[in-house]
């Protein structure tokens, strides 16, 4: 069976890490056929848009999208991200963003004692603080106003929280919900209520409400007490950079944007951005991108290939073939080559 995957290498280190993910997937012979889409900041500089007007329809014609990163110092971030990444996530209604955070053997922990880290973040991916509702008035005047309004819908919260409960059921049976319903009185209070309501459907899952500030501290001080964490769009964003650091660094973290239970084209991307500070040097860590390809293979219905690729990533980390951000000296392509070699050896 052939899987048609659209690749958006994007900006900065995006093309460098995506090339390694493609190489690894090709070595699996899982029937993935790639179509490269040149969307991103160079496309924008030539044509004034990050992607063509029919981009959502184009993407709907594929079984999955693998994206590198978006963002270029020459274009404002709110333009590039709203025109591409957020348009894909929101326009395709990919409401669940999965971000596993696991510290692999061989990767140095930033924490003393190197405690195990194995958490799964489920980030709401279409609304909340990223709803895009707001505006500005009285530009340049002393009384200039800027409003950025969060939007929480019962349907939107319920679907992502239910999905998180289901995932917790399949893992260690603990769901932690992160909100800030002491200072904020509306959206996060609705969120907390939905978590309580759904608890009845999942008697085998232990759930807890933790204020997001306290949760940030607990992720560092007692990471192993966390299993599945469900959070709003912004809180999930912030917490997963912290989670990435706990698994070695930004270059290690993977993500999947999904609409579970539908046949909507899912989107896979490393958690990190375009890393302009190291772009073009061949030193970016490709593990987050390769791990995102593992998540993609699962969604494409190739669990055996996914498992093999994850084992290969683990093998390479264990052997110490790492980029400099995780304490090694290997170049981006050397890590990719090592993953391919590991697949051949096992």
Pick from 81, 250, 306, 339 the residue near ligand IPM by CB under 6 A: 81
Side-chain-side CA neighbours of 338 within 13 Å: the count stands at 22
Q: Which does 156 bind (CB under 5 to 8 A by kind): ligand NAD, Mn ion, ligand IPM, none?
A: none
| Residue 285 interaction partner, one of ligand IPM, Mn ion, ligand NAD, none, beta carbon < 5-8 Å per kind | ligand NAD
Distance of alpha carbon 88 from alpha carbon 256, whole angstroms: 12
Q: How far is the CB of 242 from ligand NAD (least distance, A)?
A: 13
Q: Which does 69 bind (CB under 5 to 8 A by kind): Mn ion, ligand IPM, ligand NAD, none?
A: ligand NAD
- In whole angstroms, the minimum distance from the beta carbon of 72 to Mn ion comes to 16
Q: Which stretch binds Mn ion (CB under 5 A): 12-20, 137-145, 170-178, 237-245?
A: 237-245
Exposure string of 243-269, with b = 16+ CB inside 10 Å and e = fewer, is bbbbbbbbbbbbbbbbbbeeebbbbbb
Cβ closest to ligand IPM, residue 257 vs residue 342? 257
Please give the Cα distance from 174 to 208 (Å, whole number): 8
* CB of 187 vs ligand IPM, minimal distance in Å: 17
Nearest distance from C-beta of residue 241 to Mn ion, angstroms: 6
Q: Using CB atoms within 10 A of its CB, is residue 103 exposed (0-12), middle (13-18) or buried (19+)? A: buried
Q: What is the DSSP letter of 138?
A: S
Half-sphere exposure of residue 294, counting CA atoms within 13 Å on the CB side? 24
Nearest to 85 by CA among 230, 295, 263, 270: 270
Among 11, 63, 237, 315, binds Mn ion (CB under 5 A): 237
Query: Could you confirm whether 180 is annotated as catalytic?
Result: yes
**Contact footprint for ligand NAD (CB under 6 A):** 13, 17, 69-71, 77, 81, 85, 250-251, 269, 272-278, 284-285, 288, 325
Report the residue from 13, 25, 85, 300 that binds ligand IPM according to the rule CB under 6 A.
Answer: 85
Residue 227 and residue 175 in contact, taking contact as beta carbons nearer than 8 Å = yes
Candidates 16, 237, 334, 337: give the one binding ligand IPM (CB under 6 A).
237
237 is catalytic: yes
Centre a 10 Å sphere on the Cβ of residue 148 and count the other Cβ atoms it contains.
12
**Catalytic: 188?**
no
Using rule CB under 6 A, residue 17 touches ligand IPM:
no
Cβ pair 41, 14 in contact under 8 A: no
Is the CB of residue 72 less than 8 Å from the CB of residue 80? yes
Which residues are catalytic, by number? 130, 180, 213, 237, 241
Residues of this chain that interact with Mn ion (CB under 5 A) are: 237
Residues of this chain that interact with ligand IPM (CB under 6 A) are: 81, 85-86, 237, 271, 273
């Amino acid at each position: 069976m052939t899987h048609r995957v659209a690749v958006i290498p994007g900006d900065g280190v995006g093309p460098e890490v995506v090339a390694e993910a493609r190489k690894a997937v090709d070595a699996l012979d899982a029937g993935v056929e790639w179509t490269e889409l040149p969307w991103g900041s160079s496309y924008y500089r030539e044509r004034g848009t990050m992607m063509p007007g029919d981009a959502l329809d184009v993407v709907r014609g594929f079984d999955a999208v693998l994206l590198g990163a978006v963002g270029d110092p020459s274009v404002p971030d709110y333009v590039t991200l709203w025109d591409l990444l957020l348009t894909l996530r929101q326009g395709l209604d990919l409401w669940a963003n999965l971000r596993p955070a696991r510290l692999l053997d061989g990767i140095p922990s930033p924490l003393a004692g190197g405690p195990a880290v194995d958490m799964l973040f489920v980030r709401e991916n279409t609304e909340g603080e990223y709803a895009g509702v707001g505006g500005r008035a009285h530009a340049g005047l002393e009384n200039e106003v800027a409003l950025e309004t969060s939007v929480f819908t019962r349907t939107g919260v319920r679907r992502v929280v239910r999905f998180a409960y289901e995932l917790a059921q399949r893992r260690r049976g603990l769901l932690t919900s992160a909100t800030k319903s002491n200072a904020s009185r509306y959206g996060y209070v609705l969120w907390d209520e939905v978590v309580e309501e759904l608890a009845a459907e999942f008697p085998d899952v232990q759930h807890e409400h933790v204020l997001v500030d306290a949760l940030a501290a607990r992720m560092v001080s007692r990471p192993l007490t966390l299993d599945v964490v469900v959070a709003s769009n912004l809180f999930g964003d912030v917490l997963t950079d912290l989670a990435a650091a706990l698994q070695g660094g930004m270059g290690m973290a993977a993500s999947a944007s999904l609409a579970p239970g539908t046949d909507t084209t899912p989107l896979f991307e490393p958690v990190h951005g375009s890393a302009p500070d190291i772009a073009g040097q061949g030193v970016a860590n490709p593990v987050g991108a390769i791990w995102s390809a593992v998540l993609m293979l699962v969604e494409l219905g190739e669990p055996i290939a996914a498992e093999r690729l994850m084992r290969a990533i683990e093998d390479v980390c264990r052997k110490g073939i790492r980029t400099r951000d995780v304490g090694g000296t290997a170049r981006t392509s050397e890590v990719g080559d090592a993953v391919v070699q590991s697949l051949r050896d096992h």
